[in-house]
């Protein structure tokens, strides 16, 4: 039920209450008619309550989406991409990471890559191997990302 339907139900309930008051002021009150109109008014009031509760839930959901979107935007503004992975710039300008690019690009999840080993790798040379624990992808970082002054490009 929409907000408009809820407001319509509330207006119908108020209009019915006015008619009931007019009916009760007459000398020949039809008790059965008044009962029927009261039941109809209660239905309108319940419909209005349902519509307002649904609108409140929708507003809450939309607010949560806005908060989630703002949080993602805030994280995205701190990310830097280098050596085929993401790094997060902290407030002190140092870097945190590395983070999986697939997890961030596809699912908006900032998943830290797990250091596996450092050594010589065929076709790559000396590098540090990091793995994504979620989708088992390997990343080989060949240069030191953390250096004096932060990020080395």
Per-residue pLDDT tens digits for 65-94: 999 999 999 999 999 998 899 999 888 888
Whether residue 104 is found in the same domain as residue 138: yes
Domain boundary among 45, 76, 107: 76
- List, for residues 96-143, the tens digit of each pLDDT value: 889 999 999 999 999 999 999 988 988 888 889 999 999 899 999 886
Whether residue 70 is found in the same domain as residue 87: no
Domain boundary among 60, 76, 92: 76
Per DSSP, the residues of 85-146 read: EEEEE-TTS-EEEEE-HHHHHHH----BPEEEEEEEETTTEEEEEEE-TTT--EEEE-S-SE
Whether residue 8 is found in the same domain as residue 71: yes
Whether residue 129 is found in the same domain as residue 104: yes
How many domains is the chain partitioned into structurally?
Answer: 2
CA–CA dist 44, 13 (Å, integer):
5
Whether residue 7 is found in the same domain as residue 71: yes
Whether residue 107 is found in the same domain as residue 147: yes
Q: Decide the pairing of beta strands 85-89 and 79-82.
A: antiparallel
Structure tokens at 3: 């907000």
Whether residue 126 is found in the same domain as residue 91: yes
Whether residue 89 is found in the same domain as residue 60: no
Whether residue 60 is found in the same domain as residue 88: no
88 against 19, higher pLDDT: 88
pTM higher than 0.85: no
Whether residue 118 is found in the same domain as residue 59: no
Domain of 21, in residue numbers: 3-76
Can you give the pLDDT at residue 145?
61
Whether residue 58 is found in the same domain as residue 88: no
Domain boundary among 42, 76, 110: 76
Mean pLDDT value across residues 29-58: 83
């Amino acid at each position: 039920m929409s907000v408009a339907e809820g407001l319509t139900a509330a207006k119908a309930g108020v209009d019915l209450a006015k008619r009931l008051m007019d009916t009760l002021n007459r000398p020949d009150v039809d008790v059965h008619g008044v009962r029927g109109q009261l039941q109809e008014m209660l239905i309108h009031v319940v419909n209005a309550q349902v519509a307002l509760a649904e609108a409140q839930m929708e507003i809450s959901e939309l607010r949560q989406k806005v908060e989630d979107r703002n949080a993602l935007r805030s994280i995205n503004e701190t990310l830097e991409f280098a050596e085929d992975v993401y790094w997060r710039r902290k407030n002190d300008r140092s870097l945190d990471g590395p983070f999986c690019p697939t997890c961030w690009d596809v699912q908006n999840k900032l998943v830290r890559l797990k250091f596996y080993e450092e050594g010589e790798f065929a076709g790559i040379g000396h590098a540090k191997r990091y793995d994504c624990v979620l989708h088992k992808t390997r990343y080989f970082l060949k240069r030191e990302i953390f250096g004096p002054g932060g990020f080395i490009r």
